[in-house]
Chains A and B, each alone.
Chain A
Amino acid sequence: ETGVTQSPTHLIKTRGQQVTLRCSSQSGHNTVSWYQQALGQGPQFIFQYYREEENGRGNFPPRFSGLQFPNYSSELNVNALELDDSALYLCASSSVDAWEFNEQFFGPGTRLTVL
């Protein structure tokens, strides 16, 4: 069984640019969540996708957007990059049953540096 994978591992961008991060969910999982982990902090929930629809969003501006594809892989897009967007971006997948909580499985993350 393949775990959650993310690409690229590292990325350097300049302020104002746009970036796309990718995530492949664990086999059989239909839900993906994205988190931002700034240095010295815990991961912060960005948004979640369930069966290709956004299913909740954290306190992040609209320039953070996402997609989930029919094969349940996902993208996180960030427009107009700011210095504070420098962080580790984590993707987590799960198979959510509406009647009970299921744990999430995290990928290794993409380290984004904005100069």
Chain B
Amino acid sequence: DQQVKQNSPSLSVQEGRISILNCDYTNSMFDYFLWYKKYPAEGPTFLISISSIKDKNEDGRFTVFLNKSAKHLSLHIVPSQPGDSAVYFCAAVSDSWGKLQFGAGTQVVVTP
């Protein structure tokens, strides 16, 4: 069963505007959430993470919000840049060994 879900397969946003990517999960044992970015022909690269004891984490243009009661997290990219065009994966772990459970990904296209 899919415990991490990204229900939007694609997102198109204008350069300079905000990109908001959403992710839902079903397993309340998850204690760490991560976002990965993937370009074609490359492996996923770590973007930003958040512990389940926090509700917000910020790193430059990227902010992740966690709503534990709703089992929902989101990634905000402000401002969006053409280089942000990629597939973004939401992932979650329930132990310190990093056995990641991924969502299906959201393809982001940033247009000029």
A residues apposed to B, CB below 8 Å: 4, 31, 33, 35, 40-45, 48, 50, 55-56, 58, 90, 92, 94, 96-109
Contacts and interface: CB of A to CB of B under 8 A. Distances in A.
B41 interface: yes
18 contacts: A33-B98, A35-B100, A41-B104, A42-B91, A42-B103, A43-B100, A45-B99, A45-B101, A48-B98, A50-B97, A94-B98, A96-B98, A97-B96, A103-B34, A103-B49, A104-B100, A106-B44, A108-B41
A32 B99 CA distance: 10
Contact of B32 (A56, A92, A96, A101): A101
B89 interface: yes
B99 A33 contact: yes
A17 to B, nearest CB: 25
Contacts of B91: 42
Contacts of A106: 36, 43-45
